Amino acid sequence: MAEATENPWLTIVGLGEDGPAGLSAASREAIARAEWVTGAARHLALLGDLTVAATPWPVPFADGIAPLLARRGRRVVMLVSGDPFWLGAGTVVTRHLAADEWIAHPTPSTFALAAARLGWAVEETACLGLHAAPFERLRAHLAPGMRAIVLVRDGAAVAALARYLVACGFGESALWVLEALGGPRERVRRTQAEEYDFADVLHPVAVTIEAAGRGPVLPATSGRPDDWFAHDGQITKRPVRALTLSALAPRPGETLWDIGAGSGSIAIEWLLAHPANHAAAFEADPARATRARDNANALGVDRLRVVVGRAPDILAGERPPDAVFIGGGLSDSMVEWLCKAVPRGTRIVANAVTLESEAVLARWHLKKGGELMRIEVADAAPIGTRRGWRSHYPIVQWSVTL
């Protein structure tokens, strides 16, 4: 976190739709003293006639970083929307700067303004920035009665969001379309996703959603039903997946290697466990790798990194894991490589279904310890006019912390 200093060369000013009227005294002074001002063309227009040099921030956003840094040491003001550090540009810029080089003056975010208009508790509402992100990131939040505030690019995106909700079975959801919050152009309109027909939505725009409908709801616990994942039979089935995730024990901010990922179900559930988690899925079959990526995108965890190739050859140079799951390609050489290559404290979980793979796990359990568990699952199935137990292949699971 930056501390206020006497001479930070960059001041990041949060600007609302009310323009200069909503600026603090410190923000006004920074703009008055600036040698150069930059920001979106819309932000510069809100300030009116400036007496200093001003340049619109380019698109794509990354192209503006170098010109900004080239002015290091001069008095520079960067204009952003609302709160620079809530899905804002502040985080992107300050990662290039030392703590004493910048200071920020935020104004209320769109999330705060939207919640204030509707009387919603922000801490109980999902707040998502979907300007350049897929709508699927909303999928885990779609359950009757759940609320979300979503930032989108423009009116066309609002219409597309309504269609997405209908496709998910939540067409009955109430939508509030909120334009230019906090300024003279502010407008708030209510409709339903399945009835959406606004053709005159202006930027900037946010949408608030109160979910309603009969669409399927993604469970919040690990061991989601298998039909949430497209697969060709190569999938860790629901009961075993729940036990596997329990053994992997995902913690916030951790990284998983999913080796022999198949449908990607283990890595996807790892990512669903916490928004700060990371995962890489390694799969030798290109078709399965594509399917795993599609599954991740559909469930809103498009941050899954899918790598096509055979482990351990493709593992070198990867971000060190906190946990490793071996779902395919299990061998003595694979486990030996992992024991030498991954950091101490890494958790390894491996599942085996064949006698040969069971023998591998038994040997490594003898060498490294940990827990060796046999999992047997049976389902009730018809036998003529009655029912009996239909057993699945037993699974042997080895879990160890190196």
Domain at 306, CATH number: 3.40.50.150
Residues 154 and 122 in one domain: yes
> CA 365 from chain center: how many Å?
36
Question: Is there a domain that residue 356 lies in?
Answer: yes
What b/e string do you get for 346-363 counting C-beta neighbours within 10 Å, with b at 16 or more?
A: bbbbbbbeeeebbebbee
Q: What pLDDT, on the 0 to 100 scale, is given for residue 48?
A: 86
| Domain at 24, CATH number | 3.40.1010.10
Say if 2 falls within a structural domain: no
Q: What is the mean pLDDT of residues 146-161?
A: 97
Least confident range of 81-90, 205-214, 362-371: 81-90
Whether the predicted pLDDT of 4 surpasses 50: no
User: Is 150's pLDDT higher than 70?
Assistant: yes
**Predicted pLDDT of residue 319:** 93
pLDDT of residue 145: 97
Is residue 281 located within the same domain as residue 372?
yes
Domain coverage including residue 43: 10-107
pLDDT digits (tens, 9 = 90+) for 203-238: 999 999 999 999 999 999 999 999 999 999 889 999
Residue 221 forms part of a structural domain:
no
Domain at 135, CATH number = 3.30.950.10
Q: Is the pLDDT of residue 5 over 50?
A: no
Residues 20 and 166 in one domain: no
Domain end (from 83, 107, 131): 107
| 133 and 16 housed in the same domain | no
- The whole-angstrom separation of Cα 111 and Cα 121 is 10
Residue that finishes a domain, picked among 107, 139, 174? 107
Q: For residue 394, tell me if it sits in a domain.
A: yes
**Residue 6 scores a pLDDT above 90:** no
Task: Mark whether 115 and 189 lie in a shared domain.
Answer: yes
State pLDDT tens for residues 87-111: 889 999 999 999 999 999 999 999 9
Residue 2 has pLDDT above 50, yes or no: no
Structural domain includes residue 215: no
- Inside any domain, residue 3: no
- Cβ atoms of residues 103 and 12 within 8 Å: yes
Supply the mean pLDDT for the chain.
Answer: 95
Whether residue 364 sits in one domain with residue 275: yes
Q: Are 273 and 393 members of one domain?
A: yes
What is the pairing mode between strands 126-129 and 187-192? Answer: unpaired
Q: What is the number of domains present in the chain?
A: 3
Say whether both 56 and 70 belong to one domain. Answer: yes
Q: Is residue 272 part of a domain?
A: yes
399: nearest Cα among 234, 238, 243: 243
Check whether residue 81 and residue 122 sit in a common domain. no
Asked if residue 101 and residue 48 are part of one domain, the reply reads yes
Q: Which long-range contacts (CB under 8 A, 24 or more apart) does 217-223 make?
A: 217/142, 217/143, 217/144, 218/139, 218/140, 218/142, 218/272, 218/299, 220/140, 222/246, 222/269, 222/272, 222/273, 223/269
35 and 116: one domain?
A: no
What gap in Å lies between CA 61 and CA 71, rounded to an integer? Answer: 17
**Domain match, 121 and 28 both:** no
For residue 280, which phi and psi values (nearest 5 degrees)? -125, 130
pLDDT tens digits, residue range 278-316? 999 999 999 999 999 999 999 999 999 999 999 999 998
Domain boundary among 67, 83, 107: 107
Which pLDDT tens digit goes with each residue over 27-47? Answer: 999 999 999 999 999 999 999
